[in-house]
Structure 1
Amino acid sequence: MDLFFLDYRDPLVGLIFITILIFIIALLNYFWRFFAYKDEEEKLEKFIKKFELNNVHKDLLKDPNLSLANLIFLASIFTRSGEFEKAIQIYLIALEKVKDKKEQEDIFISLAEVYFKAGFLERSKEVLLNALKIRPRNEKALKLLKIVYLRLRSYKEVLDTLECLLELDEEVKEEKEFIKALMIKEQDIDQKSKIELILNLDIKDNIMLQRLIFENYQIIKDQNLFDIIDLIYRDKKIVKIDKQEYKEFFYALNLLPKEEKIFLKNQNFRMFKILNDNDFKVKIVFSYVCLECKNAMPLFFYHCPICYGFNKCKILYEVKLDETN
């Protein structure tokens, strides 16, 4: 019986078998990659056709002599000028041309940003999910997806996205508490229960959450005046907080009893008080700057609309003559 298996113990025979096995595995891997790549191409083609717009210049833009860099540059110009439909069409054509995964990923993100700016949130979400299929740890895509979910009021998905950003060593603890407060605010329960649940969150040192609570429920915590000064100026009501900076501001606005005199250390408050007391029509004008990307906005933002950063809004203010009166 041992003689019958003698040949199979020959090292050369074993080597042949191993070679054949490697060849079969390589062949199967080749076919798997071929069909997987073909499937990806078909999915990409379906995606492009799904959002494709009719355009008389489409054939011109598809010209092989027109490079990918030129297409992206052209799309960025249309995006900046607000011609979003043209930018979308160009990015879709660029997707047809490109084969490299990294380039596809970059185009997906640019396309998602255009859809986001144009207000097509569902489309922006779908495009971003395609980008994340290529590279799940894409920080830029995750940050924009977070904002898209936020605009769609899909707060659970926002929290899931924040968990992904946490894995990338992003500091999201305060933002998670803020999103939880928004979730509670949307619940179909009475106001008292909402306030109780929100106040049980980790509020300490969370500037944005404290502002949200004051803005919606007029409950003030131990926050800095200059984090909510625009809200107090808008309402022109005294809030109960024993801090000198608040007293100075209320005094400048003539909200304190007339017999009470306070020395104003803040130059803007002092100027406002003097001009107002001398019958000049004055007002305090506010502007908002992102500490991350340095862009200025006319309205306050919890999340920067440009770089999508949380708690990056610095409130600037100055006294101006009120020319409307």
Structure 2
Amino acid sequence: MSTFFIEFRDPLFGAILFFVIIFVIAIFSYWFNRYKKREDYKHLDRFLKQFNTPVSKEELYVLITKGELSEKTWLLLAHSFIKNGDYEKAIEIYSELLKVGNKDNYRDTLFLLGKTYLKAGFLVRSKTIFL
């Protein structure tokens, strides 16, 4: 059998074979890594979509009326929405707090709602709240 495969005795053939095997392993590793990254991003996107689902007004009303979170917590959440530029969610939270929340902080919540309307560009609504 060694007479048929004379290349096995050649040291240059062994070096070439060694580098070809390393090249094939490197290519396989690269493509496998790309595949795994793509799968990881899909799982991460699915996980993050759970938190980006908008809460309906009914669900928000139920969450606020349960009383598990204090009114101050809801105000901080609305403030963080304003900082991120998501004025619609902050307006919904302030509106629900005005309906359900504590009457001691009614004027402060109304003032914050007016400021949010002003930042969102609803000038007429803001004006009616401030008046």
TM-score, with structure 1 as normaliser: 0.22
Rg larger in structure: 2
In the alignment, what sits opposite 1:105? Answer: 107
In structure 2, what residue type is equivalent to 1:74?
L
Q: Which has the higher helix share?
A: 2
Q: Which has the higher strand share?
A: 1
Distance (whole Å) between structure 1 residues aligned to residue 70 and residue 107 of structure 2: 17
Distance (whole Å) between structure 2 residues aligned to residue 120 and residue 111 of structure 1: 11
Q: Is the 8 A contact 1:68 1:94 kept in 2?
A: yes
Give the one of 103, 109, 128 matched to 1:126: 128
1:93-132 C-alpha deviation (Å, 9 max, x unpaired) = 22121112xx111111110011001111111111112xxx
In structure 1, what residue type is equivalent to 2:102?
V
Alignment of 1:62-211 (within 5 A): 62-95=65-98, 96-100=100-104, 103-129=105-131
Distance (whole Å) between structure 2 residues aligned to residue 97 and residue 85 of structure 1: 19
Distance (whole Å) between structure 1 residues aligned to residue 65 and residue 121 of structure 2: 27
In the alignment, what sits opposite 2:64? Answer: 61
Aligned CA-pair RMSD: 1.9
Shift of residue 55, structure 1, vs aligned partner: 2.8
Give the number of equivalent residue pairs: 75
In the alignment, what sits opposite 1:315? Answer: none
Q: Is the 8 A contact 1:78 1:84 kept in 2?
A: yes
In structure 2, what residue type is equivalent to 1:99?
K
Query: Aligned residues: percent identity?
Result: 38
Moved more, 55-64 or 111-120: 55-64
Shift of residue 88, structure 1, vs aligned partner: 0.6
Distance (whole Å) between structure 1 residues aligned to residue 129 and residue 65 of structure 2: 21
Runs of 4 or more, structure 1, over 6 Å off, are: none
**Gaps in structure 2 of 5+ consecutive residues:** 1-55
TM-score, with structure 2 as normaliser: 0.52
Point out which structure has higher relative CO (alpha carbons under 8 A, 6+ apart).
2
In the alignment, what sits opposite 1:259? Answer: none
**Gaps in structure 1 of 5+ consecutive residues:** 1-53, 130-325
In structure 2, what residue type is equivalent to 1:124?
S
